[in-house]
Amino acid sequence: MKSHSFRKLEALNNILTFLGDRPFDHVVVTGDVATDGAVCSLETARKFLDIDRDIDPGVKRLVSYGLGCGVDRRTVIPGNHDRYAGRWGPFQTRQRHFEGVFGDLGYPSTRVIPGSTDGRPDIVLFIFDSTQVIRLYQRRNLLARIARGEVSRAECDFLVRECRTIVRTRATHGSPVNPDNCVRIALLHHHPVMPASSTYPDKALMRMDNDAHFQRSCIEAGINMVLFGHQHYAYYRPVRSATSGQTPFGPAAPVHFFCCASTLEYSEKDSGFYVYDIATDGVDAYQFSWKGDGFDRTPTVRPLTFR
């Protein structure tokens, strides 16, 4: 299994200190929290998310700072590594260790981050578990269960139905939403789009089944951004509608797809993370990339406009 770097953890702490107290409203983790799916590994990750600082109880010294994000300020979804059982090889299984540690959101589901009084929009998260489930036809090809993903057609339809509900009722599952001032973000682990010039050697092994249908559903539903992981390196691709169709929120607009890099994996030279500054007229997206001794910030796409 791939290792992780404590130097990157220290550099991440430095960046968070530089950004100031509570530099973000919400943290999204797009899966592969652990490498082996072990409960102890997942609990270590949760501890870093939960605590403000880690004190060694033996010598009473500060080990590192954490993100200090309780359940109300974070959304964490599972990746294929988080579904590995650890006993029969790296195959995704139905084990629920991840939900036992981070809580069971239910999939798919929605979550609303309310906007602020200064006019910042409501943020609606559409949350998916794209890890593969066990199906009879896959017994002929167990390799497909190592890293491939899936969002079913019924789950794709969920996007469109929920967006129509938001416009009609100004709420989703009891949480109020202003459909005239909201940003819609879909979250999953597997990549529904590849880089524009991809030569990835394991594309067949790592692909997301039904990816084209998921893209179309995002456009039809009026999704603004899609955040995902899986590849462990960052890239950005806008996807435009082939027609000038309508969504529940108005004319179809480009959907902005972001592959979120692994933040702490030692073997990835371009590891890092994104920071999104979401305002009424769009989003400023910044990528923090590892440069050998720290994370440097560069604008990725500025701004993303939704209207």
- Walk me through the domains of the chain, giving residue ranges and CATH numbers: 6-304 (3.60.21.10)
Of 83, 166, 88, 187, give the one whose Cα is nearest residue 121.
Answer: 166
What are the residues facing 94 on neighbouring strands?
none
Selection from 280, 276, 278 nearest residue 299 by Cα: 276
**What residues form DSSP beta bridges with 113?**
123
Q: What's the one-letter identity of residue 136?
A: L
At which residue do the structure tokens 């994370």 appear?
295
pLDDT digits (tens, 9 = 90+) for 290-306: 777 777 777 666 567 66
Six token digits for residue 140: 């002929």
DSSP state of 132: P
Asked whether the whole model's pTM tops 0.85, one would answer: yes
C-alpha span between 300 and 278 (Å, rounded) = 14
**183-218: pLDDT as tens digits:** 999 999 999 998 876 555 556 678 888 899 999 999
| Strand 53-56 versus strand 61-65 pairing type | antiparallel
Tokens of 12: 């991440």
Burial readout 198-212 (b: 16 or more C-beta within 10 A, e: otherwise): eeeeeeeebbbbbbe
- Longest CA span, the chain: 64
| C-alpha to C-alpha distance for 31 and 79, rounded to whole angstroms | 4
> For residue range 100-133, what is the model confidence (pLDDT) as tens digits?
999 988 899 999 999 877 788 999 999 999 997 6
Residues of the chain with pLDDT under 70: 1-11, 14-22, 54-57, 63-64, 86-89, 133-144, 197-204, 266-269, 299-303, 305-307
